[in-house]
């Protein structure tokens, strides 16, 4: 299986534009696109209760918006699973890249 092109999305206009760019790159390289939203529950090191549904909703919405935009912009893109993970964004994106076999 080909390693996917991985795009981190956050719901911002810039994140949506990056997802669209990644979709075009995935089509160009004939690879699937994997959308990833990283949610850092403890951005300042404060540990609290587990994430609630209300806290996860913006992440799901960001992924849906990115999927919709990507499908409109690049109908031929092969979308892999959209995923929401917790942690610092840089670490989560690097882990996702390693798990997919990209170097």
- Domains (range + CATH), the chain: 5-99 (3.40.50.620)
Q: Can you tell me whether residue 103 is helix, strand or coil?
A: coil
pLDDT at 85: 72
Do 101 and 2 touch, CB atoms closer than 8 A? no
What is the reported pTM?
0.75
pLDDT over 90 for what percent of the chain? 43
Please give the average per-residue pLDDT across 75-84, as a whole number. Answer: 86
Q: How far apart are the first and last CA of the chain?
A: 15
What's the distance, CA 91 to chain centroid?
13
């Amino acid at each position: 299986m080909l390693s996917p092109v991985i795009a981190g999305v956050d719901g911002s206009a810039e994140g949506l534009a990056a997802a669209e760019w990644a979709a075009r790159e995935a089509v160009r390289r004939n690879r699937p696109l994997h959308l990833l939203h990283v949610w850092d529950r403890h951005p300042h090191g404060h540990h609290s209760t587990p994430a609630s549904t209300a806290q996860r909703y913006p992440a799901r919405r960001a992924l849906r918006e990115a999927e919709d935009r990507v499908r409109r912009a690049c109908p031929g893109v092969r979308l892999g699973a959209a995923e929401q993970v917790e942690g610092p964004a840089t670490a989560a994106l690097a882990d996702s890249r390693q798990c997919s076999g990209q170097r």
